[in-house]
Amino acid sequence: MKLSYTPEAIGDLIRLREFIASKNPQAAQKIAALIQKGISQLKTFPYLGLEVALAPNPEMIRDLIIGNYIARYLIHTEQIYILRVWHHKEERL
């Protein structure tokens, strides 16, 4: 499976990294690597995340929990779209 990131997901990753880096640059690097590693697992295991019950098609829209972070993604044929990425304390859209 191929991974693609929406502009919103890219913005989320940048925002999270900048927020953490302002307090602890080394932690920002580690967390960014942790999130990327978790997301890369979806190439092999696309159904690893939990179904989003309120989604129109919960089997295809899922949340992957990566430590304190959540990556919402869409499975589409041979492609996985990373839709958003949040810290678990943030409000999800």
DSSP state of 41: G
CATH 3.30.2310.20 fits 2-86, yes or no: yes
Task: Read off the amino acid at residue 72.
Answer: R
Please report the pLDDT score of residue 89 as a whole number.
Answer: 86
Please report the pLDDT score of residue 27 as a whole number.
Answer: 94
Identify whether the C-beta of residue 34 lies closer than 8 Å to the C-beta of residue 67. yes
* Alpha helical stretches, state H, the chain: 7-23, 25-40
Identify whether the C-beta of residue 42 lies closer than 8 Å to the C-beta of residue 62. no
Measuring CA to CA, which residue among 20, 65, 68 is closest to residue 41? 65
Please report the pLDDT score of residue 91 as a whole number.
Answer: 73
**One digit per residue, pLDDT tens: the chain, 93 residues?**
999 999 999 999 999 999 999 999 999 999 999 999 999 999 999 999 999 999 988 899 999 999 999 999 999 989 999 999 999 988 765
Where do the structural domains in the chain lie, given as residue ranges?
2-86
> pTM of the entire structure?
0.92
